[in-house]
Structure 1
Amino acid sequence: MTRLLRIAVIDDNRSELFLLEEVFKTFAAQVKVTTYSDGKAAFDAMQHSDALCPDVVLLDINMPGMNGFEVLKAMKADAKLKCIPVVVLTTSMDESDVMQAYALFASAYLVKSGHFSDLLKQMKSLVEFWTRTRLMSWPSPSALDILQEVPLSR
């Protein structure tokens, strides 16, 4: 049996987190979701030496304290976390937000649907895609050695 897809959701909005938790209950046989309501707490938890890294991070950008862009920038600067795919999941349709997310190496930018059924479809597509494309052993020591040798930009 294949292990569950590990998803970390980072969003300061409690109602949004609750809604996503309800959506992911539909995929309980496929995913293990960890939620964080604070960008710094999420980053610190992933950085911990014995942390199981998520296969993908869903990241809101509009958060107090360490906002989503700061979390994304910090992740991409960290040798252990830089190759974890980050999907920006936000209500912002602002073009500058989209451009900034991709400039900081987000894997995708997804505007949250306001309707439960549409959000369910979005997350179904996300789960199907990342289940097929994730790394099955993450992080492996040899992968981390390779990552430290690869420059982030050219």
Structure 2
Amino acid sequence: MQEKIICFLIDDDGDDQEIFSMALNTIDENIGFVTANDGIEALDKLHIDNAFTPHFIFLDLNMVRMSGRECLRELKKIPRLNNIPVIIYSTSSEQKDITETIMLGAADYIVKPPSISLLTKRLEQVLRRD
């Protein structure tokens, strides 16, 4: 039996969390989905529960209490996450943001698409990568 995939979305927009969840459910209803409303909450969750090691981390760039860049830097300091891909999930399509976050260690960059179907297709590409 294949291990259940756990996706961790760090995003302060409730609507984006819901759309992301719907897209994952379309791909496979057995994909685990955990959210944090910002980088501080995410880091607290990861530091408090050492057993929590998601398979993928999706990270919004523009959040209030801690930016996605700051959160990415902190995520990269957690040894058990060294092999976990962090994918930026942002409304920004600025090349500067893409380049900078990849240089900081992001594995990929997804510009938030205008529809659930496009998001579903893009997430399938990320999740099915071997």
Normalised TM-score (structure 2): 0.91
Larger-gyration structure (1/2):
1
Moved over 6 A (4+): none
Distance (whole Å) between structure 2 residues aligned to residue 37 and residue 104 of structure 1: 22
Q: Partner of 2:56 in structure 1?
A: 56
SS at match of 2:33: strand
Q: Say if 2:48 is the partner of 1:39.
A: no
Q: Partner of 1:93 in structure 2?
A: 93
Q: Partner of 2:116 in structure 1?
A: 116
Q: Partner of 1:28 in structure 2?
A: 29
Deviation at 1:49, TM superposition (A): 4.5
SS at match of 2:61: coil
Distance (whole Å) between structure 2 residues aligned to residue 123 and residue 34 of structure 1: 15
Question: What amino acid sits opposite 1:52 in the alignment?
Answer: F
Q: Partner of 1:151 in structure 2?
A: none
Distance (whole Å) between structure 2 residues aligned to residue 58 and residue 17 of structure 1: 11
Q: Partner of 1:80 in structure 2?
A: 80
Cα shift readout 1:78-97 (whole Å, capped 9, x = no counterpart): 22333321000111011211
Distance (whole Å) between structure 2 residues aligned to residue 49 and residue 35 of structure 1: 14
Structure 2: give runs of 5+ residues left out of the alignment.
Answer: none
* Root-mean-square deviation (Å): 1.4
Kept after mapping to 2: 8 A contact 1:47/1:81: no
Structure 1: give runs of 5+ residues left out of the alignment.
Answer: 133-154
SS at match of 1:114: coil
Cα shift readout 1:64-111 (whole Å, capped 9, x = no counterpart): 111111110001122233332100011101121112101211111111
Q: Partner of 1:107 in structure 2?
A: 107
SS at match of 1:77: coil
